[in-house]
Amino acid sequence: MISKRKEMFYLDATELIMDRDFEVMTNTTFADDIVERLYGVDNHRIDYGLIKILGLGVVKNKHFNALYIYDAAGDNLMSEMIRLRIYYQLSYPEYDDKELDCWIFGDVAGVNYVLRIMGSSGAWVISRLKGIFNEKKGRVVEFPVR
C-alpha cells in the first residue's frame, strides 16, 4: 500500500531573527544570510540522526514552540530540495517518491550529484534509497515465448 504524503510546508526565514524568533536545536551552522526557508511536516517527529547525516539542521520557533528543518549547507536551491526530498523519503519509506527515484537513479548524473552533496554519507544515502525504491518495484516474471 502506498502511503499518502504528509503535508510539507515552508516558512520564509529572511525576516526571522535568531534568539528572538527561533533557536538552533542542532549542532549545525545557521547563516542568516544563507538560510531563506524553514520547512515543516505536519505531525512529524524529527529524526535528528538523519538530519545530521543529510547536512540539515533544526530550529525551534520561540513563538509557537514548533520545530522546523533547514538546509545547513546552503549551497543552492536544487541541493536543498534534493536533501529535503531524501529526508522525507528516508523518514517515510512507505511513501514512493517516483520523481526522486527517477531523478537519482534514472541517470548516473543523479547518483553522482547526490554523492557530491552528501559527502562521506553519500554511499549510505544511495544504498538506503536504492533499497527503498527497489522494494516498491514489482518482480518481473518472464513467460516463455510461444
User: Is 146 among the domain residues?
Assistant: no
Tens digits of residue pLDDT in 64-93: 889 999 998 878 999 999 999 999 999 999
Tens digits of residue pLDDT in 95-145: 999 999 999 999 999 999 999 999 999 999 999 999 999 988 765 566 777
b/e burial code for range 33-65 (CB count within 10 A of at least 16 → b): eebbbbbbbeeeebeeebbbbbbbbbbebeeee
Domain containing 47: what range?
A: 8-136
Name the helix (H) or strand (E) containing 91.
helix 77-91
Number of separate domains in the chain: 1
Per-residue pLDDT at 129: 98
User: Is 46 among the domain residues?
Assistant: yes
- How sure is the predictor about 53, in pLDDT bands with cuts at 50, 70 and 90? very high
Phi, psi of 89 (to 5 degrees): -65, -40
User: Is 1 among the domain residues?
Assistant: no
Residue 1 has pLDDT above 50, yes or no: no
Residue 17 has pLDDT above 50, yes or no: yes
Specify the higher pLDDT residue, 55 or 74: 55
User: Is 144 among the domain residues?
Assistant: no
User: Is 76 among the domain residues?
Assistant: yes
Return contacts of 101-109, CB within 8 angstroms, 24+ apart: 101/129, 101/133, 104/129, 105/129, 105/130, 105/133
Whole-angstrom distance, CA of residue 115 vs CA of residue 2: 27
Pairing of strands 22-24, 8-12: unpaired
User: Is 71 among the domain residues?
Assistant: yes
User: Is 142 among the domain residues?
Assistant: no
User: Is 57 among the domain residues?
Assistant: yes
Per-residue pLDDT at 141: 62
Per-residue pLDDT at 31: 85
Per-residue pLDDT at 2: 47
